[in-house]
Structure 1
C-alpha cells in the first residue's frame, strides 16, 4: 500500500524528480493503513474520470518547465463504491485485531481460545484476499511505470521536453530550451526591463552551449527572437553609430507565463 501511494504519481521539474520521489517515500513511511487508504482513494482508485490535479503540481513555480504523471485504476461508480467499502472494511479489521482482539475473547478458557483461533483464521483469509488484490494493483502499476520509463528514454521524448521539438519537427516555442535560456538571461542581466542580446548570448554560451539557433532551424539569435514571438526586439544606436540589439519578453506572454 505504501508503494502504491508513493509511486503512482510524480510531478516536478525534471532535475528534481528523484528528490520528489524520495520525499513521497519518506512521507508515507509512518502512515497507518487508514491514512494510506484515504490517500489512495481519489488518486489511484478513481471512479470514471473523477481525478484531481497532481499533488506536487499545486506547489510548482508557475514559470517552471515540469513533467508529471499519474497512474490510476479507473472503475465504474458502482465498482468504485464497493472497492472503497472493501478497503474501509480492511482498515476496520486491522483496527479490531490490533486494538480490540483481547477484549473480544476470553483467552483464559479453552473455548475462548478456540473461538479466538477460529476468528484469526477467518481474518487471515480476508487479509490474504486484500493482499492479493494489492499485489495485482502494484503489478499493473509497475508495468505502466516501466512503459512510461521506456517512453522517456526515447530521444524524441527528450527532444520534446528539453527543446520543445515535436516528432513532426514543429517547435513549441513556449517549451523550447533556448527560450528558457533567454528568459534566464533576462532575469540575470536586464537593465530597466531590457537585455542586451550580445550579453545574453555570452551568458547562454557559457551555461547552455548546446542551445544554439541552428538547433531550432534559425540563422541567428535575432531570428530566434522573432520566430518564437515570445520577445520584443529593438535596435539602439551607439555613439559610434553602430546598432546594438536589445530584447525583452513580451508583456502579454509574461503574464500568461506566470499564471499558467
Structure 2
C-alpha cells in the first residue's frame, strides 16, 4: 500500500525562512569574530633576533600577545573585551599602565603595537554596538526557540522580523570592524615603507638619518628665512634657534641621530656657523650661507 503524502503544515515554509535568516546572521557574526581575532593577532607583537647570522628575516623570533592558541579558545564576547583593552582606546580615559615585556639588550629586538584612539563619545558608541552584537548572538544561539513559537505562523513571522533587523545590525558591526582593520593595514604598510627607507634603516641600526631625508633642513631654512639678518648677511644663531623652536617645536636633531642644531648646520653644506669676526675676535655664534665672505670656524 502506497503511503499517503501528508501536506506540509502551514508554518513549514516560514520556519525554513527563519532558519535561512538565522544562518545569515550567524555567518555575519562569525566573519566579525574572525576579523576581531585577526586584529588582536596583529595588534601587538615583539620580534627578537636569534643572534644567528645569515638567516635574514627567519632569524627573528616573533611572539604575540594574542597567539593562535589563545585566540582559538576565545569567544566573541572575549574578543570584544580584549579588543577594547588592546586595540581601541578612549582618548579621555586614563592611560593604561600595563607592564610591557622587557626586550633583551644584547640582541636586536623590536616591539610593534597598534592602538586606535577615538573620542569618548565614539568609544562608547562602538562599545555599545559590539556589546549588543554579543547579546544578540547569545539570544539567537540559546534562546530563539524560547522567545518565539516557531511552530506557528505568528511565531515564525515575529522571529523573522527579529532576525532581519538583527542582520542589518550585524552587517553594520562587521563593516565597523573592517574599517578599523583597513586602518591597521595602512599603518602596517607605512611601517614597512619606513623601515625600507634610509630613515628607517638608520633608525633600526642606530645610525644617523641622512640629512636630506629628514625635515630638519626644511625647518632650518624656515627659521633662517624668518630671522632678520645683520648688515653682513649673517644671523644670530640664538635668534635662528628661537625662530626654529617656534615654527617647528617637534623637530629635534636627536630624533634623527644628530647631537645638536649646530651639527645639523655644519653638515647641511648650505649653512655655516661664524664664531669670530674678520679680525679674529670671538663673537656670539652666527649663521651664514655657505659661500659668503664671513669667516667660518
Give TM class, smaller chain.
Answer: 0.5 to 0.7
Count residues in correspondence. 167
* Structure 1 residue 43 corresponds to structure 2 residue 43: no
In the TM superposition, what whole-angstrom CA distance separates every residue of 1:66-111 from its partner, at most 9, and x where no partner exists? Answer: 2112222211122212222221111111111111112111111111
Q: Is 1:84 the counterpart of 2:124 in the alignment?
A: no
1:51 shift after superposition: 4.6
Aligned CA distance change for structure 1 residues 152 and 27 (closer, same or farther; 3 Å): farther
User: What residue in structure 2 maps to residue 161 of structure 1?
Assistant: 204
Q: CA deviation at 1:46?
A: 0.5
Residue 70 of structure 2 corresponds to 27
Q: Distance in 1 between matches of 2:114 and 2:60?
A: 16
* Pick aligned residue for 1:52 from 89, 96, 105: 96
**What SS is found at the alignment partner of 2:138?**
helix
Taking the aligned partners of 2:87 and 2:151, their CA distance within structure 1 comes to 44
Cα 1:40–1:64 change in 2 (3 A) is farther
Structure 1's unaligned 5+ residue stretches are: 170-260
Choose the corresponding residue for 1:66, options 99, 109, 124: 109
Relative to the length of structure 1, the TM-score reads 0.56
CA distance in 2, matches of 1:127, 1:23: 24
The RMSD of aligned alpha carbons is 2.7
* CA displacement 1:218-258 (0-9 Å, x = unmatched): xxxxxxxxxxxxxxxxxxxxxxxxxxxxxxxxxxxxxxxxx
How many angstroms does 1:138 deviate by? 0.7
Structure (1/2) with the larger helix percentage: 1
Matches of 1:135 and 1:128, distance apart in 2: 10
In structure 2, how many angstroms separate the alpha carbons of the residues matched to 1:23 and 1:77? 26
Residue 136 (structure 1) aligned with residue 179 (structure 2): yes
Secondary structure of residue in 2 paired with 1:166: coil
Q: 1:152 aligns with which of 195, 200, 204?
A: 195
- What is the DSSP-based 3-state SS (H/G/I as helix, E as strand, rest coil) of the residue aligned with 1:58? coil
User: Relative to 1, partners in 2 of residues 1:81 and 1:46: Cα closer, same or farther, differing over 3 Å?
Assistant: same
Q: Which runs of 5+ in 2 are unaligned?
A: 1-35, 51-58, 212-297
Distance 1:158 1:94, change over 3 A: same
Q: 1:160 to 1:81 in 2, by over 3 A?
A: same
TM-score between both structures, scaled by the size of structure 2: 0.50
Partner Cα distance (1:29, 1:44) in 2: 18
Larger RCO (alpha carbons 8 Å, 6+ apart) = 2
Separation in 1 of the partners of 2:113 and 2:66?
16
Task: Please say if residues 54 and 68 of structure 1, whose CA atoms lie closer than 8 Å, have aligned partners that are also in contact.
Answer: no
Q: Which has the larger radius of gyration?
A: 2
2:48 is the alignment partner of 1:13 = yes
